[in-house]
Amino acid sequence: MTCDPSTPELLPSKSKRIVLRVAELPFAVQGAGLIATLRTLGGFRPFVQPEKGYAEDDWLFRFQEGTEQGKDLPNLPLHHFQTEGIDCTFSRRGEGYAFSMSGGEGSSDPCGWVFSPSGKKALAWGEADRTRLRFSLWMAFGTAALSRGVAALHASAVCVQGKAVLVLGESGTGKSTHTRLWREYIPGAELLNDDSPFLEASEEGVRVWGSPWSGKTPCYRDLAFPVAGIVRLVQAPHNRIRRLSTLEAVGALLPSFPPSFAYDRAAKDRVLTLISHTLMRVPVFRLECRADEEAARVCYGEIFGNGLR
């Protein structure tokens, strides 16, 4: 595990296939071109698994080089959006999903993937540069993981006392700043992930995992923690926290899941089920705050009840 990518560990150099595991869900990346690009990306090494430890049936899916398959199948674009100057389209294709990208700094040539109807194989087509491959893998893994009740959450996750707190908010509202303040002023607080942790709710409780996708603050930790609380952050000239009602909590959580899933009925239903199960077990708060020490202590004190205010 690492939160310091100054000398990122590289993936195995001679592998023709690499098995990764995120949120206890193993998947494989296969193909010389994909692996060559993947090796240049920081963050994946802590999630590499020994290939001999898994049979193919154990994998969530396989991400492999291919061609643009399924052109004869009906294609239903669901969501068009941009990220880092890249034009993206998330679609339904037959019984599966498809994703395409074009533009960006590295290349204007389109690329993407198509899931097989079984959902066990994602065929990657076109050439993806480093930025596009990282995002493409995030979309593919997120799509496959959702079928297992696990979803990415746009959040900064901090852990303390063996539990995690998820800080939500629109981009630029200070999520990373707030979790940094926890690490500065709350004894034992550590960052788990700064952009895209993965959430699961089960009968055992609600857990959050680190991931290879951590935004501008690289923090790649193959760890899981039970969730103690979720906080929707709002900038304000004061520090004030209150617990949200169930209806308010749904409104606070829903925008932090991948937006593309809102455009597909099956995916949206899975997200809403995950939210429902989460709210049965975890309190959700609204934190109106400044970017200062008191904000971290107010939030910590409310969730953990230790009076650090």
DSSP codes joined into one string, 155-189: -EEEEETTEEEEEE-STTSSHHHHHHHHHHHSTT-
Report CA-CA distances (Å) from 142 to 123, 235, 245, 297: 15, 29, 28, 33
Same structural domain, 176 and 272:
yes
Same structural domain, 200 and 136:
no
Residue 251's domain spans which residues?
Answer: 152-304
Q: Which pLDDT score, from 0 to 100, does residue 8 have?
A: 46
The per-residue b/e assignment along 146-157, b for 16 or more CB within 10 angstroms, e otherwise, is beeebbbbbbbb
Mean pLDDT across 97-117: 86
DSSP 91-140: EEETTEEEEEEEESSS--S-EEEEE-TTSSEEEEES---HHHHHHHHHHH
Same structural domain, 93 and 116:
yes
Indicate the residue among 132, 148, 164 that finishes a domain.
148
Q: Which pLDDT score, from 0 to 100, does residue 15 have?
A: 73
Q: Tell me the C-alpha distance between 92 and 74, whole Å.
A: 8
% of the chain beyond a pLDDT of 90: 78
Q: For residue 112, is it within any domain?
A: yes
User: Per DSSP, which regions of the chain are E strands?
Assistant: 17-22, 25-30, 48-49, 62-65, 75-83, 86-93, 96-103, 111-115, 121-125, 150-152, 156-160, 163-168, 190-193, 198-202, 205-209, 224-235, 240-243, 284-289
Q: Is 254:307 a contact under the CB 8 Å cutoff? A: no
Same structural domain, 79 and 97:
yes
Q: Which residue has the higher pLDDT, 224 or 42?
A: 224
Q: For residue 11, is it within any domain?
A: no
Confidence of residue 7 (pLDDT cuts 50, 70, 90): very low
Exposed/middle/buried for 50, CB within 10 Å: 0-12, 13-18, 19+? exposed
Q: Is the pLDDT of residue 10 over 50?
A: yes
Q: Is 146:97 a contact under the CB 8 Å cutoff? A: no
Mean pLDDT score of the chain, rounded to an integer? 91
Structure-token match 């000239």, residue found? 237
Task: Look up the pTM and report it.
Answer: 0.93
Q: What is the pLDDT of residues 194-222, one digit of tens each?
A: 999 999 999 889 999 999 999 888 899 99
Tokens at residue 65, please? 């080089």
Q: Is the pLDDT of residue 113 over 50?
A: yes
Q: For residue 8, is it within any domain?
A: no
Same structural domain, 252 and 124:
no
Q: Which pLDDT score, from 0 to 100, does residue 14 have?
A: 65
Q: For residue 56, is it within any domain?
A: yes
Q: For residue 4, is it within any domain?
A: no
Q: Which pLDDT score, from 0 to 100, does residue 149 have?
A: 97
Q: Nearest 5 degrees, angle CA 305-CA 308-CA 309?
A: 105
Domain containing residue 183: CATH number: 3.90.228.20
Q: Parallel, antiparallel, or unpaired: how do β-strands 62-65 and 121-125 relate?
A: parallel
Q: Which pLDDT score, from 0 to 100, does residue 13 have?
A: 59
Q: For residue 6, is it within any domain?
A: no
Q: For residue 68, is it within any domain?
A: yes
Confidence of residue 6 (pLDDT cuts 50, 70, 90): very low
**What number of CA atoms fall less than 13 Å from residue 195's CA on the CB side?**
16
Q: Which pLDDT score, from 0 to 100, does residue 57 have?
A: 85
Q: Is the pLDDT of residue 108 over 90?
A: no
Same structural domain, 21 and 116:
yes
Tokens at residue 201, please? 């709710």
Same structural domain, 158 and 298:
yes
Same structural domain, 130 and 235:
no
Counting the structural domains of the chain, the total is 2
Indicate the residue among 107, 133, 148 that finishes a domain.
148
Indicate the residue among 128, 148, 168 that finishes a domain.
148
Q: Which pLDDT score, from 0 to 100, does residue 107 have?
A: 64
Same structural domain, 83 and 202:
no
Same structural domain, 24 and 108:
yes
Length of the chain, in residues: 309
Same structural domain, 102 and 194:
no
Same structural domain, 70 and 205:
no
Q: Tell me the C-alpha distance between 23 and 199, whole Å.
A: 8
Q: For residue 87, is it within any domain?
A: yes
Q: Is the pLDDT of residue 293 over 70?
A: yes
